[in-house]
Each structure stands twice: as C-alpha cells, then as structure tokens.
Amino acid sequence: MIPRVNTARLCLRPFRPEDAAPLYQILVQPGVLQYFPDPMPPSLERVERFIGKQLTQWQERGYAWWAVQPLQTDRLAGWCGPQFLPETGETEVGYLLGREWWGQGYATEAAQASLNFTFQQFPLDQIIALVHPDNKASIRVIEKLGMKSTGLTPYFGVELERFVLTWLAWQKQTKEK
C-alpha cells in the first residue's frame, strides 16, 4: 500500500488514473517544463504511462512520486517525492507544481515531507536534487531543504546543478527543529 503523507497544507497521496488529465493540464502550462531536460509537454497518453510507472515504482522500490494536493481543495497541484535513478544508483527528490501554486512555499513543504519520509523509511546515505542552473526559484527551494551544491554534473544529457543532503546532515537539522 502506498502511504499518504500530510503536511500542514498538503496531502502527498498516491496517483490515481483520473490524475492524468489534470497533470497533463499542468504540464502544458507555459514555463512549467522550461528547465527540464525535455521542455516539450508530453502527450496525455505519455502522462498516463508516467502515472503507471510511478505506481510500479512504489511496488518495486517502496518509494516514488506522489500526487500533491492542497488540503483545502480536491485539485491536483503537481507531483513530488523520491525517485530512484537507475543510471547512477542515486535517489533524487523532485517536485513540479502548476503555476498557480508557485511562490507559496508548497514545493519546499512537499519536498521536506518527501525527504523526511525517505530518510525515515529507507537506509540511504544521501538524497540528491538536480536543477537547471538558471532555475533560481528551484535552487532556493533546494537550499531551504539544507541541501548543498556539489557543482554542475551531466544528467539526462544536460549539465545540471547537483545538490546533496546526507542522512547525517538531515538528522542534525531534524534535531535542531
């Protein structure tokens, strides 16, 4: 069973097949995929396969992306969570929200909940975050999480800034809160 994680304002919940159309609408919004390795919005069929892949990842790995839903609404805001990168053997925390949810702290709140869940449930030494170096808003989110840059690194065919949060650093910042 895929766990649900609630924060003060969000529910991180399993994707459902009916999330495909709302997620597609988020992904076609101007600027949402601007800094992704492939900024072209996917087809609705590809979004449906993406959701299926996430549900399979939950079964196989025990973690994957959740659907992000603000508690005050039944609308999908985007996705967030840990993702295993088979190319490197690393686990990345990622997030994507629709434009109307930008600038309200939701990405930081969801990503922090994802980090907490992942470090509490799995014996990982570290979790990474990857961001296009021009995506200043996303870099601010990652820095708020206490993640530290290790510099530009090639991933997915592009140079991305790689950030790391070790389990020890997460433990320390958790105790300080």
What does 144-168 look like in DSSP terms, one character per residue? HTT-EEEEEEEETTEEEEEEEEEHH
- Residue 160 to residue 132: CA distance in whole angstroms: 5
Q: What is the pLDDT along the chain (177 residues), one digit of tens a residue?
A: 899 999 999 999 999 999 999 999 999 999 999 999 888 899 999 999 999 999 999 999 999 999 999 999 999 999 999 999 999 999 999 999 999 999 999 999 999 999 999 999 999 999 999 999 999 999 999 999 999 999 999 999 899 999 999 999 999 998 887
pLDDT for residue 175: 87
What does 48-69 look like in DSSP terms, one character per residue? HHHHHHHHHHHHHHS--PEEEE
Q: Which helix (H) or strand (E) holds 6?
A: strand 5-6
The pTM of the whole model exceeds 0.75: yes
Distances (CA, A) of 119 to 2, 17, 84, 149, 177: 16, 28, 14, 19, 16
CATH pick for 5-176 out of 3.40.190.10, 3.40.630.30, 3.40.47.10, 3.20.20.140:
3.40.630.30
pLDDT for residue 3: 95
Query: Which amino acid is residue 98, in one-letter code?
Result: G
pLDDT for residue 29: 95
pLDDT for residue 170: 97
- Residue 73 to residue 90: CA distance in whole angstroms: 34
